Structure 1
Amino acid sequence: MQSSGSARSGVKIRLVEDRCALGVLGGDGYPVWLKEEIVRRGLVADGEQTISFCGLIAQDSEVFVFIPRGSALPVTIAEKDSLAALTTSCLELYGRRRPANTIPEESGLVEFEQDAQLALVRELLDDYRLNGLYATVSRQQTSNNGRTDWRRTIRMVAVLPDADGMPIYPELIGTRRCSTLDSIVTRIHGAVISKLDEMFGWWVTGEAGGRLASDLDADPDLLDRAEYCIAMLKHEMVLVYSDRHMRLIRNLLRYFRHHKLAGGSPVVIGLRDFHWVWEYMLAEITAWRKDVSRELPVPVYYAQNGERQPAPGKGMRPDLVLGVAARRHMAVVDAKYYQARDVSTAPGWHDLVKQFFYAKALQEAYPGWTVDNIFVFPGCGKLSYAAVESRDRSRRFDELFPPVRCVYIDPVQVMQHFIAGTLSTEITESFLMAGRRDA
């Protein structure tokens, strides 16, 4: 899939598939700035011929969501909106669970700094949905209204006797809480919410209409005065005491310090290499995960004097191992974010060798168990398994090099389970069943 789009409420959302040809963005209907931004950011591969990015790029009323390669193609506008929101939520959840300092450098993260822009957007919009605009709370003195302040009444009001000589107070002094929406902080909050709602309301609401604050009367010019807004927010921070107000002001400060969100340049949030998310999600949604780190052998170096020097940090690290003790059945799974349409786009010898050794090591550690070798790819494809055989095809070396089965999974299905926090028995069984197919 190259691209599909939908327009609503002034915001146009278009889908682009990760790893599609960069030339696609040179066609009609694409703004010139989009291709330029992708090249400028280095979100390309294969000699700048292919886009390598999963996430979103937004500017003004245009939002481009780059979905995982191999995703099932949406047909209706509602399905396109749903996939855009699902992909964005998936990246937000991954960024929240994997802070920037724990995401592998090889992933090429883009704007997944510690401030976590997507999490900031969601928190600000969710807060507005629950609590509305920031309100300044004050107490006003009342007369014969509100809660009576007896200390002030006794001090300020002259006592009159009733017919029985008992003291009465002709006026009761009280106080009343008043909320006002005319402060500068309220105006700043409204401007930020209006901007974020325009760009991201479709994501937070999960609806085709996609707006939380379409009727908000905001002053967009405030967003161009970041230093002034920061000064006003800092001043307000020392005057508030409620947890909600303090958290909101801190988030508004984060917004203005994130000049890319507040300014006019394109907002780019996502990963250059979705492989790391693909691997992480599959590990999160599969059942019967098995920790075999203590069972796998490790390399040991010996010095010339005979000193033994183990190197466990250089040992085997399979992506995912599944095991069902009742069946004495195990699968060692390598999540590959490859197209794997044919040999030219399939994993090479380096990846195959690792899988061969993982399977051999587990067969030694778990005698009597069936150990399957699996590559899992996004989308669909025709490859069934990889084996090693002689060049004249007269011999297969399955005992020495256990064949690696190929399983294809729709990324949309994986993302749905990941967001829902559910384990997929169906996907897990597809890995274990793959090894039962005749080679």
Structure 2
Amino acid sequence: DLRAFLTSKGVIVEDDIFIHFVGLVYFKGKPYIFLPRNSDLNKFQQYSIAEKEKIARELMSSIHMYQQSKKNSIDNRDNGEGFIGEENLTLIISLLDDFNLNGLYKRRSKRKIYNAGKINWKKTIHSFQPYPSDNSPLYLEYEGVSKRTEFDSEISKIHAGIIYDISKDLGWLTYSEPAYYESVLNSIGRSELSEEIQIATIKKELDTIYSERDIYLLKSISNYLEKNSGY
């Protein structure tokens, strides 16, 4: 039962009557929220599921903010499977918040083309001979740049799989409507690569991007995969 599970994790000992713990525990696929000691449980029991989720979301957000404060720095490492420690909580909330704000990862690329696309004047001036003109040089040929945005790259599929897995159990931490994630993620497939190859793919992508947001996101995805796979 839950008590035996908490005892096995060292949260309580055999003779304990009270649990000195505030936070979230997952046991047999269900979340158990432990509220602060002076909470009015009788009032809490009367709330709807949506109201209970809102309170739980605010509690976990408060714990997250407390842990992020340097002056309140505490040692709260992950205690094992079933527990969300400081580091894992930060990572999960970060991934969900980023997805809610920016959506799935989009791969952006550029390629060189001729006589089409946006003109690259520096390359054109150095590579092509202009024709005389009354007012300015006239270039009949030019080098251009074609920009492409991929919404279904392998990285996007990896990202979608992670958000889907997290949101099934923990999506309510940052978004009150559970069906939101499923409806958004249904349009993209999932990566069929092994977790080891997924990590290698992410690290290879990191060498080609410069956006701070993309770098932070891919490092977070890689971190999640490494924790999840044990690599």
How would you bin the TM-score normalised by the shorter chain? 0.7 to 0.9
Comparing both structures, which one devotes a greater share of its residues to helix?
Answer: 2
CA–CA distance in structure 1, aligned partners of residues 64 and 54 of structure 2: 15
Residue 181 of structure 1 pairs with residue 136 of structure 2: no
2:7/2:14 contact within 8 Å kept = no
Other-structure match for 1:119: 90
Other-structure match for 1:198: 168
Residue 249 of structure 1 pairs with residue 218 of structure 2: yes
Other-structure match for 1:228: 197
Q: Secondary structure at the match of 1:44?
A: coil
Q: Quote the offset at 1:97 in angstroms.
A: 2.0
CA–CA distance in structure 2, aligned partners of residues 186 and 98 of structure 1: 34
1:61/1:198 contact within 8 Å kept = no
CA–CA distance in structure 2, aligned partners of residues 170 and 237 of structure 1: 38
- Tell me which amino acid in the other structure corresponds to 2:26: A
Q: Which has the larger radius of gyration?
A: 1
2:24/2:84 contact within 8 Å kept = no
Cα deviations across residues 131-159 of structure 1 (Å, max 9, x unaligned)?
22222221123455432123444566676
Other-structure match for 2:37: 69
Q: Following superposition of structure 1 onto structure 2, how do residues 25-44 of structure 1 map, counting pairs within 5 Å? A: 34-44=2-12
Q: Secondary structure at the match of 2:58?
A: helix
Shift in CA distance, 250/67, structure 1 to aligned 2, threshold 3 Å: same
Q: State the identity as a percent.
A: 27
1:201/1:211 contact within 8 Å kept = no
CA–CA distance in structure 2, aligned partners of residues 62 and 221 of structure 1: 27
Shift in CA distance, 219/256, structure 1 to aligned 2, threshold 3 Å: same
For structure 2, the 5+ residue unaligned runs are none
Other-structure match for 1:89: 61
CA–CA distance in structure 2, aligned partners of residues 153 and 180 of structure 1: 27
CA–CA distance in structure 2, aligned partners of residues 60 and 121 of structure 1: 20
2:25/2:84 contact within 8 Å kept = no
Taking structure 2 as the reference length, what is the TM-score of the superposition? Answer: 0.75
Cα deviations across residues 403-429 of structure 1 (Å, max 9, x unaligned)?
xxxxxxxxxxxxxxxxxxxxxxxxxxx
Q: Secondary structure at the match of 1:233?
A: helix
Q: Quote the offset at 1:68 in angstroms.
A: 2.1
Q: Secondary structure at the match of 1:116?
A: helix
Task: Give the number of aligned pairs.
Answer: 219
Other-structure match for 2:104: 133
Shift in CA distance, 151/42, structure 1 to aligned 2, threshold 3 Å: closer
Q: Quote the offset at 1:203 in angstroms.
A: 1.3
- Tell me which amino acid in the other structure corresponds to 1:93: M
Q: Quote the offset at 1:213 in angstroms.
A: 2.5
Shift in CA distance, 59/83, structure 1 to aligned 2, threshold 3 Å: same
For structure 1, the 5+ residue unaligned runs are 1-31, 264-439
Give 2:21's match in structure 1, choosing from 48, 53, 61: 53
1:95/1:116 contact within 8 Å kept = no
2:78/2:88 contact within 8 Å kept = no
What CA RMSD, in Å, does the superposition of the two structures yield over aligned residues?
3.5
CA–CA distance in structure 1, aligned partners of residues 27 and 203 of structure 2: 28
2:167/2:181 contact within 8 Å kept = yes
CA–CA distance in structure 2, aligned partners of residues 220 and 147 of structure 1: 33
Comparing both structures, which one devotes a greater share of its residues to strand?
Answer: 1
1:198/1:211 contact within 8 Å kept = no
